[in-house]
């Protein structure tokens, strides 16, 4: 997820203060291979960690109820093997049939280290999508001077514009 910095809202105490020490709301998202946002959950307070946000997320709820909402497995390129669609998460997420995460760092074999490396390369796609979003919209360069609800709407608007501009193949990165 991405912590979107906020000027501390009035009378919130530490609710929106994240582990890095600044106030934020969190943008958690799924992206496709073309850096488009295909699902977003935004507006949860910065104090929550990724697994807590994921635990309260409607997508997780839907996948737990009906895993078939993910596309069917497809053949891998130049192979007769098929692979299922999965969500790639970091160490903060629990392993599920639809969610892959790295092996814990303790006592990694060579194969597990290689797996973790390849999984981190796949996760880079989402990091790149966040990077394109943040670099394109100047509002992310300093804390938003809005209440969390309004800041949530602003973030959703930038995500929608990001996807729109990418679909038009404009000079947008």
Domain count, the chain: 1
Q: Is residue 101 part of a domain?
A: yes
pLDDT digits (tens, 9 = 90+) for 107-161: 899 999 999 999 999 999 999 999 999 999 999 999 999 999 999 999 999 999 9
Q: Which of 71, 161, 85 is nearest to 122 (CA)?
A: 85
Coil, strand, or helix at residue 19?
coil
Backbone angles phi, psi at 27, to 5 degrees: -105, 110
pTM for the model:
0.87
In the 8-state DSSP scheme, what is residue 8? P
Q: Give the residue numbers spanning the domain of 152.
A: 2-167
Q: Is residue 98 part of a domain?
A: yes
Q: Is residue 173 part of a domain?
A: no
Q: Is residue 131 part of a domain?
A: yes
Q: Is residue 51 part of a domain?
A: yes
Contact 150, 9 (CB under 8 A): no
pLDDT digits (tens, 9 = 90+) for 153-166: 999 999 999 999 99
Other residues' Cβ atoms within 10 Å of the Cβ of residue 41: 18
């Amino acid at each position: 997820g991405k912590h979107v910095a906020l000027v501390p809202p009035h009378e919130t105490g530490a609710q929106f203060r994240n582990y890095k020490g600044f106030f934020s709301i969190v943008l958690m998202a799924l992206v496709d291979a073309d850096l488009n946002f295909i699902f977003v959950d935004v507006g949860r307070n910065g104090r929550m960690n990724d697994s807590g946000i994921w635990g309260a997320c409607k997508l997780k709820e839907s996948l737990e109820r009906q895993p078939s909402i993910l596309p069917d497995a497809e053949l891998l390129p130049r192979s007769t093997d098929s692979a299922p669609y999965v969500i790639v998460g970091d160490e903060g997420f629990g392993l599920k049939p639809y969610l892959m995460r790295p092996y814990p760092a303790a006592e990694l074999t060579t194969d597990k280290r290689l797996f973790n490396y390849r999984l981190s390369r796949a996760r880079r796609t989402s990091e790149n999508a966040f990077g394109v979003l943040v670099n394109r919209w100047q509002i992310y360069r300093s804390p938003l001077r809005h209440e969390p609800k309004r800041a949530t709407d602003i973030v959703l608007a930038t995500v929608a514009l990001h996807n729109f501009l990418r679909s038009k193949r404009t000079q947008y990165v």
